């Protein structure tokens, strides 16, 4: 192996480990409203902010493009994707069905360690709510959903759900800024975790489906508020 190849090979694991960090940061920036639909991703500035080279940033942007969160333009870079209201509503409906399935599956197999993780996320979101800190609440909310899907131990669900989550980042934040919405959302999380703790798949599935549909309802309220 040449010295150049050896150096490239040595960098690869480190670069790969940075990619999820960049992805989460882009999702956070969208969730807290710092990035909007149509905004160009400043790769150099993001790399500087995170203390890394542009390589992991570029790889993360490519991954987020595959998830549907970003789009690319030749010689211009990556931009936050914009989707229509109809697309958003359709995605909410699909997510509701998948979440219901995840709840039914997870209730039968969830471990004590997984329940501890979910309880901790609920507690941390309560703290963010008390501080009126949506910038902290939003990524915790995303992680809660990821963990709930992971608890299903269904590889296809785990593969599909991130794409549907990513496409809705711009819309989901709108609903959470409504008065009382973060508290209502986390109360729903707490009820879901209680159902999972008791191994009640039917209730867990219904609550998880209702949780997504409640998010859809909050999003639709923001549309009505903007039209009035």
**pLDDT 10s digits, 109-124:** 999 999 999 999 999 9
In whole angstroms, give the CA distance from residue 28 to residue 2: 40
Could you tell me which residues come within 8 angstroms of residue 35 by beta carbon, excluding any fewer than 6 positions away?
Answer: 26, 29, 41, 80
User: Helix, strand or coil for residue 70?
Assistant: strand
> 160 with 174, same domain?
yes
**Alpha helix stretches (DSSP H) within 79-180:** 85-109, 112-130, 134-150, 155-167, 169-176
Q: How confident is the model at residue 7 (pLDDT cuts 50, 70, 90)?
A: very low
Quick: pLDDT tens for 79-137: 988 878 898 899 999 999 999 999 999 999 999 999 999 999 999 999 999 999 988 88
Token duo for residue 139: 């990524």
Could you tell me which residues come within 8 angstroms of residue 138 by beta carbon, excluding any fewer than 6 positions away?
Answer: 28, 31, 32, 173, 176
Quick: pLDDT tens for 149-161: 999 999 999 998 8
> 114 with 64, same domain?
no
Token duo for residue 172: 């989901």
User: What domain range includes position 131?
Assistant: 85-227
Quick: pLDDT tens for 36-58: 778 899 999 999 998 998 899 99
Residue where a domain terminates, one of 80, 101, 119 = 80
Quick: pLDDT tens for 179-197: 788 999 999 999 999 999 9
Question: What's the CATH code of the domain at 154?
Answer: 1.20.120.530
Residue where a domain terminates, one of 21, 54, 80 = 80
Indicate the pTM of the whole model. Answer: 0.74
> 70 with 148, same domain?
no
The number of folded domains in the chain is 2
Model pLDDT, residue 134: 83
């Amino acid at each position: 192996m040449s010295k150049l190849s050896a150096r490239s090979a040595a960098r690869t694991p480190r670069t790969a480990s940075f990619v999820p960090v960049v992805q989460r940061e882009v999702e956070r920036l969208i969730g807290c409203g710092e990035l909007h639909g149509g905004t160009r991703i400043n790769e150099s500035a993001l790399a500087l902010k995170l203390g890394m080279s542009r390589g992991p940033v570029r790889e993360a942007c490519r991954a987020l493009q595959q998830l549907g969160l970003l789009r690319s333009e030749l010689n211009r870079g990556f931009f936050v994707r914009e989707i229509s209201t109809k697309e958003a509503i359709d995605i909410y409906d699909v997510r509701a069905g998948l979440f219901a399935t995840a709840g039914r599956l997870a209730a039968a197999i969830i471990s004590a360690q997984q329940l501890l993780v979910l309880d901790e996320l609920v507690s941390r979101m309560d703290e963010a709510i008390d501080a009126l800190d949506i910038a902290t609440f939003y990524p915790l909310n995303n992680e809660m959903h990821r963990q709930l899907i992971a608890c299903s131990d269904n590889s296809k669900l785990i593969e599909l759900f991130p794409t549907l989550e990513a496409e809705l980042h711009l819309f989901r934040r709108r609903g959470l800024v409504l008065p009382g919405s973060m508290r209502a959302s986390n109360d729903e999380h707490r009820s879901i975790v209680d159902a999972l703790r008791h191994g009640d798949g039917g209730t867990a599935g219904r609550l998880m489906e209702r949780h997504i549909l409640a998010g859809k309802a909050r999003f639709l309220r923001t549309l009505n508020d903007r039209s009035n």
